[in-house]
Structure 1
Amino acid sequence: MLNYNSLHCLPSSEELPNSEDTPVDNEIQDLIPSLLKATLALVWLDRWDWYFGVKMGIYYDPKKPAIVPDGFLSVGVKRFVDGDLRLSYVLWEEENPPIIAIEVASPKHLGEYSTKKEVYAEMGILYYVVYNPFRRKNPALEVYRLEDGEYLLMSGNPIWLPEIGLGIGRERGLYQGIAREWLYWYDNQKRRLLTPEELIFVAQEKANVEERQRLEAEERVKMLENRLKALGFEPETIV
């Protein structure tokens, strides 16, 4: 009897296009998910069961083109595939949909609140995050959770995501020298996780403090030696 496996008939990630050749509408669509990815790479440095894609195509149906979120996170998957980097994210290969899809809206909406939202629900993505910095009346950040096939809006800032063990929220900060509102990860005490840049700054400040303390200690020792010499003592002979 012939053993038939339908997966063998589907195109692989190597055969599928890995670029939609569509430029982002604004730089923030690249910087925000890149910031989240870089921070996560430090937080989960010792974990190899996750993947964060930035402007990468997700193939969810062999008859349809890929959908390209600004960012997405999958857990329970290999960090690298066969020791290499992914060309795209193919659901029939991964067998695990992303747990979060992130869209950074542009002034002209591109389906973030309609078609893309429907596709992500169809794929079974648990959380859908939409950040729209151009909004004035409604909240700029909306986080939805999939319940019975429908996305329900969650409240709060930051918003805790128990399946990931992190929260996501927005606040003003500095990234790549740009002062503005960014999206960040948070711990269960609602404390914002530091970005790579901030961790470097903290390490440098700590090193500077330690160096100042060392120089101050050497200066105090020198002053004490001079006082002893003024009193007729040689510091080297004092035991």
Structure 2
Amino acid sequence: MSQPLLSEEIVRPDISHLVLEDGVPVDNFQSEKQQRLLVEPLYSSPVIPPPFIAAANVGIFYSINQDGIAPDVFLSLGVQMPDNWVERHNRSYLVWEFGKVPEVAIEVVSNRKGNELGSKKETYARMKVDYYVVFDPLRQLQQPDEMNGSLLKIWALSAGRYIELTPAEGLSVGEPIYLDTVNLGLTLWEGEFEMVPGIWLRWCDRAGIVIPTGAEARAIEQQRADQERQRAEQAQQQAEQAQQQAEQERQRAERLADRLRAMGIDPDDV
């Protein structure tokens, strides 16, 4: 009779044939910054209850018989980041290890070779990723006869197919698209990130208020602290001015009383 497996003994499929890490990511400056802008704020601001994983350029493998796919950014809720990265199966997102696919996959277009609107979209739909997002900041997917192509397209999975959430005329800067199952929105934001001005893709709340980066949150807190300090200083100045005015009034009253006494008049009788 064979001995039962101990509870800590987990039988894992053989993944030796899978290329989990190729070690040769090549991206442009804009994509690199955009990826960080979509990952870092989720860890810096308490907008999503842990555990969750937000990552950039990490492979997602949903079948041991197929190559994985590495979105520029993905978000998976309710899963814990493995802490032992020495183990090969902990260094990529193996769906059978985490028990679910990510909720959001985001592709940032850097050239016309990525096929973001074709095979990648079909792959994410087959994986049953709730939301697929394509951000085209350099207008690489824009047709030659288009004057103003849409920078952002967002699809939601419905009955195994993607339904586009973004309007046909494109999304305006500051207009949010809310992802219900994630309790977060996405919006185009015009501003400066890491000293680079431009139009960026940002996470936001339902009202379109962007989720701040750690640096932005610290700047906001510093601004609030400065405002509180200024209010305290103004209150102190007002108190000191009131005290000075009271002292001046007292001194005037004493001088008047002295003059009345000099005239033989009791000030208490006036």
Give the TM-score taking structure 2 as reference length: 0.73
Residue 219 of structure 2 aligns to a residue whose secondary structure is: helix
Cα deviation, residue 101, structure 1: 0.5
The corresponding residue for 1:145 is: 156
Deviation string, structure 1 residues 50-95 (Cα, Å, up to 9, x no partner): 21121101112213332111000111322x23x4565110011112
- Aligned 8 A contact 1:184 1:192 in 2: yes
Deviation string, structure 1 residues 169-188 (Cα, Å, up to 9, x no partner): 11202222222111112222
The corresponding residue for 2:220 is: 202
- Relative distance call for 1:176 and 1:230 in structure 2 (3 A) is same
Residue 50 of structure 2 aligns to a residue whose secondary structure is: coil
Q: Does 1:101 align with 2:105?
A: yes
Q: Does 1:193 align with 2:196?
A: no
Q: Does 1:214 align with 2:217?
A: no
Output the CA distance in 1 between the equivalents of 2:17 and 2:215: 37
The correspondence of residues 1-239 of structure 1 with structure 2, limited to 5 A, is 8=11, 10-11=13-14, 17-44=19-46, 47-78=49-80, 80-81=81-82, 83-84=83-84, 86-135=90-139, 137-156=148-167, 157-226=175-244, 228=247, 232=251
- Relative distance call for 1:170 and 1:211 in structure 2 (3 A) is same
Output the CA distance in 2 between the equivalents of 1:190 and 1:71: 20
- Relative distance call for 1:46 and 1:72 in structure 2 (3 A) is closer
Residue 121 of structure 1 aligns to a residue whose secondary structure is: helix
Residue 204 of structure 1 aligns to a residue whose secondary structure is: helix
- Aligned 8 A contact 1:28 1:104 in 2: no
Output the CA distance in 2 between the equivalents of 1:105 and 1:46: 26
- Relative distance call for 1:20 and 1:113 in structure 2 (3 A) is farther
Output the CA distance in 2 between the equivalents of 1:152 and 1:218: 59
Output the CA distance in 1 between the equivalents of 2:131 and 2:200: 19
> Gaps (5+ residues) in structure 2?
140-146, 168-174, 253-270
- Aligned 8 A contact 1:145 1:152 in 2: yes
Two-structure CA RMSD over aligned residues (Å) = 2.9
Residue 11 of structure 2 aligns to a residue whose secondary structure is: helix
The corresponding residue for 2:260 is: none
Deviation string, structure 1 residues 96-146 (Cα, Å, up to 9, x no partner): 001110000013331212222121111111111000012253211000112
Higher-Rg structure is 2
Output the CA distance in 2 between the equivalents of 1:231 and 1:11: 91
Residue 69 of structure 2 aligns to a residue whose secondary structure is: coil
- Aligned 8 A contact 1:175 1:197 in 2: no
Residue 117 of structure 2 aligns to a residue whose secondary structure is: coil
Cα deviation, residue 33, structure 1: 2.7
The structure 1 segments of at least 4 consecutive aligned residues displaced by more than 6 Å after TM superposition are: 1-4
- Relative distance call for 1:232 and 1:128 in structure 2 (3 A) is same
Deviation string, structure 1 residues 1-49 (Cα, Å, up to 9, x no partner): 8789xx835136x996542223333122222232222222244467223
- Aligned 8 A contact 2:18 2:67 in 1: no
- Aligned 8 A contact 1:171 1:183 in 2: yes
Output the CA distance in 1 between the equivalents of 2:55 and 2:241: 59
Give the TM-score taking structure 1 as reference length: 0.81
| AA at the equivalent of 1:198 | E
- Aligned 8 A contact 2:59 2:69 in 1: yes
Output the CA distance in 1 between the equivalents of 2:201 and 2:242: 53
Output the CA distance in 1 between the equivalents of 2:162 and 2:48: 32
Of all paired residues, the percent bearing the same amino acid is 28
